[in-house]
Amino acid sequence: MAIKKYISNLAVIQNTAINSQTHLLKLSSNSALPTIIPGQFAELRIDGTSDVFLRRPISVNFVDYTKNELWLLVQKVGKGTQKLCELRENDNLNLLFPLGNGFTLPGDFTQKVLLIGGGVGVAPLLFLAAELAKLNCCITILIGGRSADNLLLVNDFADYGKVYFTTEDGSAGERGYVTQHSILANEKFDKIYCCGPTPMMKAVGQYACQKNIDCQISLENTMACGIGACLCCVTNTVDGHKCVCSDGPVFNINDIKWNND
């Protein structure tokens, strides 16, 4: 069933620099926000520049329907995202949303659920954590980064479950990658949700397969149109090539071809 898409101008109510490369944008809509599934994303129009033509895909970080707020976590990687990070309070931002297929929530609400995020890959997991908490799931969050400065939204995640960290330099939590954290060896989980760098997601997928744990990942392929028309974001699956923007970005780990090679 196709999900209705909207093109709307949302007002910037807050732009907070979390670190030197990452900003949290909080947006407000004059009209009621549509139903958004954790894991879906928005395509953002970049205004005020003559050399950025395409919209930028950004995961929905959080939705507060009581305040009519939508949050976006933006990492500066080029001219488009740089312009987004320069937005000021009361600026308007044009969104095409909600796009893609999000995470599937567990049917058994007593399950122990593990959320694993690396770097800005934590973005879609905060809204997911909030929705899982409403279902009374037992939630554990594992966040990885190069250093303590790269651990994002830790306090926000702590509202929904127990948070653990890894850093490559050992400046916070256990030293190493998220897939090396001791909790993976010491605790058993019923379901895993993951988003981050591809090597990390591959390692998480291998762990999930070895432990026979249902695992969903959110891919971060380059997207241009966001609706499956340009075919630049295709990924290889067991059922052939699929567009990450329209068939995903969330896939079961068993459906991704690089996990089955």
Under 8 Å between Cβ of 34 and 98: yes
191 within some domain:
yes
235 within some domain:
yes
Is there a single domain that holds both residue 140 and residue 239? yes
220: pLDDT confidence band, cut at 50, 70 and 90? Answer: confident
- 152-172 pLDDT, tens digit per residue, is 999 999 999 999 999 999 999
DSSP, collapsed to helix, strand or coil, labels residue 97 as: strand
CATH number of domain containing 183? 3.40.50.80
Last residue of a domain, one of 40, 70, 99: 99
Is there a single domain that holds both residue 137 and residue 224? yes
List strand residue ranges (DSSP E) for the chain, in order: 6-17, 22-28, 41-44, 56-64, 69-75, 92-99, 112-118, 138-145, 162-167, 174-175, 191-195, 214-218, 234-237, 240-243, 250-252
What pLDDT was estimated at residue 21?
Answer: 95
104 within some domain:
no
Is there a single domain that holds both residue 180 and residue 216? yes
Domain count, the chain: 2
What pLDDT was estimated at residue 259?
Answer: 55
51: pLDDT confidence band, cut at 50, 70 and 90? Answer: confident
**Domain membership of residue 168 as a residue range:** 112-259
Is there a single domain that holds both residue 49 and residue 123? no
What pLDDT was estimated at residue 130?
Answer: 97
Is there a single domain that holds both residue 186 and residue 89? no
Is there a single domain that holds both residue 60 and residue 87? yes
Checking if the pLDDT of 100 tops 90, the result is yes
Last residue of a domain, one of 70, 99, 128: 99
What pLDDT was estimated at residue 153?
Answer: 96
224: pLDDT confidence band, cut at 50, 70 and 90? Answer: confident
228: pLDDT confidence band, cut at 50, 70 and 90? Answer: confident
107 within some domain:
no
217 or 230: whose pLDDT is higher? 217
193 within some domain:
yes
Last residue of a domain, one of 71, 99, 127: 99
Is there a single domain that holds both residue 201 and residue 127? yes
Checking if the pLDDT of 141 tops 80, the result is yes
What pLDDT was estimated at residue 2?
Answer: 60
What pLDDT was estimated at residue 177?
Answer: 93
- 71-91 pLDDT, tens digit per residue, is 999 999 999 999 999 999 999
